[in-house]
Amino acid sequence: MRPQSRVSDLVSALRPPPRLVDWSILAVVLFETVSGLVSFTIGTPDGWPLFWAHRIAGLTLIFLLGYKLARVRYRLTDSTQWRPTTALSVVTLLAAVGSLATGIVWVAGVDVRLAYWTLLSVHVGFGLVLVPLVVAHLTTRFRRPTRQDFHRRRTTIKYTGLLLGGAVLYRAQTFVNEVLDTHGSDRRFTGSQPRPGDGNEAFPVTSWVADDPDPIDREAWSLSVRGAIDTPLSLSYDEVSPESEREALLDCTSGWYTVQRWRGIRVGDLLETAEPDDDAAYVRFVSVTGYRWSLPIEEAREALLATHVGEEALSHGHGGPIRLIAPGRRGFQWVKWVERVEVRRQSDPAQWVVTLVSGFE
């Protein structure tokens, strides 16, 4: 037997029963959505298993979509089979192929932009439209798996095999990256690609969603510190003495990272002057736009409010006069254009919504 047909025999042997294929596709799409969104919050290398799980499970879709297409291809190619729901099926297929393809091409290190979106952002976009499409598609042809579809040992073996298949595909792709020395092997564990160089020009200006304030007049601006503290503060730009410096890595969920030397004031030094109450637990950083994020107070002490990047004063785009540097956190938590530091007793769940809607009128 030729090796090629052995592989295809193996792949056919792993095929779950048709109804299970459909539900497996739904399960994988949901897993990819959840793992993808949760991965946005992970910035330290100990979170790597989630990224690997996302990649491996995502690649099993190649098999599952293959099984599915082999079975239903005639409904697309034979026009007497067309139904009103066929259009929905086609759109669902396109979204699935789109998210898979952009994910795979991203792993290869390709860095093209569509309008101003990185491929990774397009991947996220495809993924987000795919969820309602798959759910809608499944309800038009709703068939619950039956007891006969499950066979404890066989089912376990098949799904284990499929996940192994996904792992082999991912390993094959990283191997190709290494052999061809593509930019895919420069990626961080988060998948982000490097933006080398120092200073304002070295890395892109990015908004999480829609935040885009007018440039801030440094003379009129001030930084206030308030909340659960003894001594409220208000500092003009000149009163912020940028004496602390540290290197930190900014990793944006749109798929790039940069390592810069940031200079500014340690939040811990600000807090020492402000004297937090004993039960202070969080520090919230609020932008002139209302955009905000909180850090647990111990972590916040180590964070920096930066006025400088590299040797330069922070540009408006990068959050000047002052922005938060939160090492180990993903980019969207590095609040730009900070004007208020609030010491608080509670966490701030509403920040998740505020960051998404800030900037919309």
Ligand X SMILES: Nc1nc2c(c(=O)[nH]1)N[C@H]1C(S)=C(S)[C@@H](COP(=O)(O)O)O[C@H]1N2
Binding site for ligand X (CB under 6 A): 203-208, 211, 252, 287, 289, 291, 317-319, 331-332, 334-337
Which partner in ligand X, Mo ion, none is near 126 (CB below 5 to 8 A by kind)?
Answer: none
Separation between Cα atoms, residue 282 and residue 279, nearest integer Å: 9
Piece of the chain touching Mo ion by CB under 5 A; list 27-35, 88-96, 253-261, 263-271? 253-261
Task: Kindly state the tokens that stand for 187.
Answer: 């990626």
Q: Which residue, 133 or 314, has its beta carbon nearer to ligand X? A: 314
Which partner in ligand X, Mo ion, none is near 203 (CB below 5 to 8 A by kind)?
Answer: ligand X
Taking the complex as a whole, how short is the minimal distance between the CB of residue 252 and ligand X, in angstroms? 3
Which partner in Mo ion, ligand X, none is near 168 (CB below 5 to 8 A by kind)?
Answer: none
Residue closest to 99 by CA, chosen among 43, 44, 148, 31: 31
Piece of the chain touching Mo ion by CB under 5 A; list 143-151, 184-192, 249-257, 348-356? 249-257
The DSSP call for residue 176 is H
Residues in contact with 135: Cβ distance below 8 Å, sequence separation at least 6, in sequence order: 26
Residue closest to 292 by CA, chosen among 339, 215, 354: 354
Backbone angles phi, psi at 204, to 5 degrees: -70, 155
DSSP string, 57-97: HHHHHHHHHHHHHHHHHHHHH-GGG--TTHHHHHHHHHHHH
Taking the complex as a whole, how short is the minimal distance between the CB of residue 287 and ligand X, in angstroms? 4
Q: Does 276 bind Mo ion (CB under 5 A)?
A: no
Taking the complex as a whole, how short is the minimal distance between the CB of residue 309 and ligand X, in angstroms? 8
Q: Which residue, 92 or 355, has its beta carbon nearer to Mo ion? A: 355
- State the residue number with the nearest CB to ligand X: 331
Query: 3-state DSSP call for residue 337?
Result: coil
Q: Which residue, 120 or 343, has its beta carbon nearer to Mo ion? A: 120
Q: Does 305 bind Mo ion (CB under 5 A)?
A: no
Query: 3-state DSSP call for residue 219?
Result: coil
Q: Which residue, 33 or 333, has its beta carbon nearer to Mo ion? A: 333
End-to-end Cα distance, the chain: 65
Task: Kindly state the tokens that stand for 127.
Answer: 């993924």
Taking the complex as a whole, how short is the minimal distance between the CB of residue 324 and Mo ion, in angstroms? 13
Separation between Cα atoms, residue 272 and residue 110, nearest integer Å: 46
Taking the complex as a whole, how short is the minimal distance between the CB of residue 349 and ligand X, in angstroms? 18
Q: Which residue, 135 or 357, has its beta carbon nearer to ligand X? A: 357
Q: Which residue, 75 or 246, has its beta carbon nearer to ligand X? A: 246
Helices and strands (H and E) in the chain: how many: 9, 13
Residues in contact with 294: Cβ distance below 8 Å, sequence separation at least 6, in sequence order: 282, 283, 284, 285, 344, 347, 348, 351
Separation between Cα atoms, residue 122 and residue 62, nearest integer Å: 19
Which partner in ligand X, Mo ion, none is near 223 (CB below 5 to 8 A by kind)?
Answer: none
Taking the complex as a whole, how short is the minimal distance between the CB of residue 8 and ligand X, in angstroms? 43
Paired sense of beta strands 304-309 and 312-313, if any: antiparallel
Separation between Cα atoms, residue 154 and residue 14, nearest integer Å: 9
- State the residue number with the nearest CB to Mo ion: 252
Site track 187-216 with Mo ion (rule: CB under 5 A), x = hit = -------------------x----------
Q: Which residue, 111 or 149, has its beta carbon nearer to ligand X? A: 111
Which partner in Mo ion, ligand X, none is near 282 (CB below 5 to 8 A by kind)?
Answer: none
Q: Does 331 bind Mo ion (CB under 5 A)?
A: yes
Q: Does 252 bind Mo ion (CB under 5 A)?
A: yes
Q: How many residues does the chain have?
A: 361
Q: How many CB atoms lie within 10 A of CB 276?
A: 21
Residues that bind Mo ion (CB under 5 A): 206, 252-253, 331-332
